[in-house]
Amino acid sequence: MDGLDKIALLNGEMAVETAEEVRHPPTLPPNATCSHPSVMPHPITSKNAHKQEAMPVYQAALPGGKRISLLKTMLTSACERNCNYCSFRCGRDFRRVTFQPDELAATFMKMHQAGITEGLFLSSGIAGSSIRTQDRLNAAAEILRNKYAFSGYLHLKIMPGAEHDQILRAMQLADRVSVNLEAPTVASLGHLAPQKLLAEELLQPLRVVEHIRQTQPPSQGWSGRWPSSCTQFVVGAVDETDRELLNASQYLTNSLKLRRAYYSKFSPIPGTPLENNPCANPWRTHRLYQAFFLLRDYGFSTTDLPFDPTGSLPLSSDPKLAWAEAHLKHAPVEINRAEMVQLLKIPGIGPVAARAILSTRRKQPLRCIEDLLSLGIRANRAAPYILLAGRRPISQPTLF
């Protein structure tokens, strides 16, 4: 079996590894029950591929917003861990694939030179210990950077329990590094991945990543800067709540400076202990992403979010809109006097629009909906929650 055959064989298994692939709002209504994993992002099949099979190549949005085609693959799908949800668990019967580091690098470069993929997300099952696996991941990255002079995007997974020097080396080679936390609490991780240790194996490498960024010069990193970091949670497989997931995400972004938390919608996999559990509602992960960006970019905290008594976000409402209905409907914000943090909490206004408001009103006050529209603001969405020169604006109700 050649390298392209191996990557094609991994195609059906890579949905469990959530990365930078572009997502769209679910098409099912919020109260619908999802029974099929087809709501996951689909690979794109390249017309330039040497093989006819669909390859695990996804349209991806990079940290700076650029869109590229991203290959998601594994150094090995063999794993000595027995995570209850995972298609790669050691107790599951399926055909495994293993690359040598130089073989993986050569196969990726063949695809890259053929125009099939522009970047690489590289993960691995744990085979022969986390330390050995991390050495092999780093070796593949070194071959790509040094032997093949690959200068494109590389997202490198850090294995549970990886050592300091291995993490440092990964950060010298990658544009992004990540550690899968899987679950937000020790209790929920015990149900999901009972062989993993949340603090010692999963959080500690992320702490090392941030310590390196804070204490060592960025010139040591790839292209003269340290990589961003992120994590992944599995949503809906066990009993974790949205509040727990977002509390953990807030800690990670505030204290460990993670750039992203990814929320992987649980879909049951045959041959795993959770194969009879229901598929998670895709609207749940969509609301979690919306809430995460409120925490990261809009000045919200988890205490602002509209959790119900069970710790869940409402599926039927955007959390920012739900907050505004509760806090701004009867106490609208005067656009001409509001500070940045107040502007960011108004529906229809994001960071770019808020900066445009601050800049424009230094020259002249904003008096009508047309003034907001001229700044690219979703004015009808904002209108119920604002004042313009002391008056509620007149707007056309939105159809949606």
Residues 6+ apart with CB under 8 A from 42: 58
Q: What is the pLDDT of residue 13?
A: 78
Between CA 164 and CA 158 the distance in angstroms is 11
Q: What is the pLDDT of residue 260?
A: 94
Instruction: Extract the residue ranges of the chain whose pLDDT is less than 50.
Output: 35-40, 42, 45-53, 397-400
Q: What is the pLDDT of residue 245?
A: 98
pLDDT tens, 31-83?
765 544 433 454 554 444 444 346 889 999 988 888 999 999 999 999 999 99
Q: What is the pLDDT of residue 23?
A: 80
User: For the chain, what are the domain ranges?
Assistant: 3-23+38-304, 329-387
Q: What is the pLDDT of residue 39?
A: 37
Contacts of 53-57 with CB under 8 Å at 24 or more apart are 53/8, 53/11, 54/8, 54/11, 55/4, 55/7, 55/8, 55/11, 55/111, 55/116, 55/117, 56/7, 56/10, 56/11, 56/14, 57/111, 57/116, 57/117
Q: What is the pLDDT of residue 265?
A: 94
Q: What is the pLDDT of residue 26?
A: 85
Q: What is the pLDDT of residue 1?
A: 81
pLDDT tens, 157-209?
999 999 999 999 999 999 999 999 999 999 999 999 999 999 999 999 999 99
- The CATH code that applies to domain 3-23+38-304 is 3.20.20.70
